[in-house]
Amino acid sequence: MPYANRPVDKDCVFCRIVAGAIPCARVYEDENILAFLDIQPIAPGHTLAILKGHYPTLLEVPPREAEGLFIALKKVAAAQLKVLGAGGFHCLQNNFPLAGQTVFHAHWHLIPRAAGDGLALWPGQAYESDKRMREVAEALHSHITAGRCGGQDE
């Protein structure tokens, strides 16, 4: 069942795609989700999955919509593995400009991977000490368990 009164931003490119005002190469669609090929793909089959409602970042996405999104992501990723012969895939989601978000309608990238495709990920760095790692974990855990992580409420 579609969500009634879903938010729309008339200036948002993804809302315009959902409305049919801008064409896209659809990969998957149901009442609440749309997945389509990225027009600047990292690899052939690079797909964007969006909720049809306008939510700028993950923090605004209503929990009731997450299950349908997760199901759609699994379907598209499974198709990438089978149809494209991908050996794996990335499921990435950027939030806010500092993290590389350029379209402020929450969206997920499903990027199929192949051996030798040249795509490199970010370099990992160890914590300077186990003590520092525990401090960071405890600070995050305390904030979450204190109920201060409701998303858009903050």
Longest dimension (CA), the chain: 53
DSSP state of 61: S
The string of DSSP letters for 28-52 reads EE-SSEEEEE-SS-SSTT-EEEEES
Residue 107 designated active-site: yes
* CA separation for the pair 76, 47 (Å, rounded): 8
Question: Which residue among the candidates 46, 54, 107, 109 is catalytic per the annotation?
Answer: 107
**Cα distance between residue 76 and residue 50, in whole Å:** 12
Instruction: For tokens 């049809």, name the residue.
Output: 52
* Secondary element (H or E) of residue 81: helix 63-83
Q: Give the catalytic positions in this structure.
A: 107
